[in-house]
Amino acid sequence: MPASRRGSASVTLPTGQTLAFHSHTRSSEDDDLPHATKKKMADHLRKYESLFTLTPQRMRMIVEAFKESLETGLAKSEQIVPMIPTYVFGWPTGNETGDYLAVDLGGTNLRVCLVTLQGNGKFEITQSKYRLTEEQKQEDGQKLFDFCGECLKAFIDLYVDAGTIAKESRLPLGFTFSYPCSQNSIDHGELIRWTKGFGAPNTEGHDVVKMFRQSLEKHNVPAEVVALTCDTTGTLIASHYVNPKTRIACIFGTGCNAAYMERVGDIAKIKHLGIPDDAEMAINCEWGAFDSFEHENLPRTKYDQIIDESSNKPGEQAFEKLISGRYLGEILRLVICELIDEGVLFLGQNTYKVEIPYSFDTAFLSLMESDPTDELLMIIGIFSHFFALETTLAERQFFRALAKLVGRRAARLSACGIAAIVSKMGYLEEGCMVGADGSLYNKYPGFAERIHEGLHDIFGEKGRNIITYHAEDGSGIGSAIVAAMTKQRKIAGLYPNL
């Protein structure tokens, strides 16, 4: 038996918990378990490189198709990329003031915020988070909103007792609901479809603001829902509030989306509202749906098809399923399982843990890519601790390279979406800032750099004029600013019914 090499490292779990571990590995040449050789793994890697690599020419083709989808969504209702008018009119001035509540029903948590806008682009925020269980995401929709109402009531009571919120006050509230809704006014939103793993019945096709108001009334919550926004629209407004050069906002996290400000004259489907053509309105693209159903433009592999077919919404959210944090770990896991089935990996070892769907978190890919340690110690730890599997150096090098391929494809596809908006709006010459948020953008090593590389590959040197940066908090600050803008607009009598 050869000598083992030992080491120690730590892994941050998706829950935020840090796990320390000690691990050992043997070399593949002397191992008593059969392992893939370096040459064999290199041969397999070449196959996956051809599957997951996007050429600049292919990216430019995707951008053109994407742009066409954006324009179709602005022209007609009920399109695959819905291009939802948000009834957020124009940019914030930066001088909005007052106390506002914000409630964000996100993918993992419910977040409740008290935001004090101080003018001059300044603010203070106080917040609490409440964990959503998987059961809550699937049980009756009104129950879900009742939970939101209870949490908001507890939050307000806490800060009334502390003297931060005045007794008997009824604060305006911005409700961040980051799922595609059709809106005919700022305080109305009919859920088109759940995304991000939600499936609460009796909600799709219903006005979520009305449902939330019923829950607020039921729990005697002293708050008035003024505006419904998605996190992406909120991110657009909050980022512009702090950085007026911002023209686009994107979320790259559990889901993916983009928002930007459109000239009303170019939104043909709301012509009947009689809003002046030169007015501006934020558009919530809901671009995660791009290329859904027909699958004509995106480079889907068989792994992407498996994910799609086994999802709770087959055929839908095609773009999201290639680039969002919910799916990247699963793409890599499916490749690993294929190689296990082919007798390439982990022969003689019990692989049942890694064969469980979604057991390979996208956070693991992030850790694998950031692993600079001797012989990729972090990867040893991930496989030994979470899956009870031993790896060789050749396998670890392969896993790291594969993680890079999957992550790079996601970033380059993300660049295609940004490029479609830039191209449509003519932002390339003067350049623009793109506020970006979400766990992938913020935590995945090299994600932002790969987006910029992709923009350069699409546009050439001028692509350097498009700069992404870490966005302001859209679902908290942005939602509150939207509530403030809406309140001021209605007091001024500007489009009071919208």
Is 87 a member of any domain?
A: no
Element housing 263 (H / E): strand 256-263
Domain of 150, in residue numbers: 95-242+473-491
Stretches where the chain sits below pLDDT 50 are 1-7, 15, 23-31
Q: Decide if 91 contacts 240 (C-beta within 8 A).
A: yes
pLDDT for the residue numbered 8: 55
* Distance separating alpha carbons of residues 296 and 65, to the nearest angstrom: 9
pLDDT for the residue numbered 23: 46
Is 19 a member of any domain?
A: no
Which residues are the active-site residues?
A: 178, 193, 231
Which phi-psi region, left, alpha or beta, contains residue 230 (left: φ > 0; alpha: ψ -120 to 50)?
A: beta
Q: Give Cβ neighbours of residue 127 (< 8 Å, ≥ 6 apart).
A: 111, 112, 113, 114, 476
- Examine the domain organization and report whether 252 and 383 are in the same domain: yes
Q: Decide if 478 contacts 237 (C-beta within 8 A).
A: yes
- Examine the domain organization and report whether 307 and 428 are in the same domain: yes
The domain that holds 204 is classified in CATH as 3.30.420.40
- Examine the domain organization and report whether 151 and 201 are in the same domain: yes
- Examine the domain organization and report whether 322 and 467 are in the same domain: yes
- Examine the domain organization and report whether 216 and 249 are in the same domain: no
Is 496 a member of any domain?
A: no
- Examine the domain organization and report whether 421 and 332 are in the same domain: yes
* Distance separating alpha carbons of residues 391 and 379, to the nearest angstrom: 8
Q: How many domains does the chain have?
A: 2
- Examine the domain organization and report whether 413 and 478 are in the same domain: no
- Examine the domain organization and report whether 135 and 69 are in the same domain: no
pLDDT for the residue numbered 296: 95
Backbone angles phi, psi at 355, to 5 degrees: -90, 0
pLDDT for the residue numbered 162: 84
The domain that holds 65 is classified in CATH as 3.40.367.20
- Examine the domain organization and report whether 412 and 270 are in the same domain: yes
pLDDT for the residue numbered 345: 94
pLDDT for the residue numbered 193: 87
SS3 131: strand
pLDDT for the residue numbered 95: 84
Q: Decide if 22 contacts 8 (C-beta within 8 A).
A: yes
SS3 211: helix
- Examine the domain organization and report whether 439 and 484 are in the same domain: no
pTM: 0.88
- Examine the domain organization and report whether 266 and 377 are in the same domain: yes
pLDDT for the residue numbered 473: 84
Is 177 a member of any domain?
A: yes
Structure-token pair, residue 58: 């292919």
- Examine the domain organization and report whether 154 and 251 are in the same domain: no
In the numeric block, the tokens 């296990």 are attached to 340
Amino acid occupying residue 490:
K
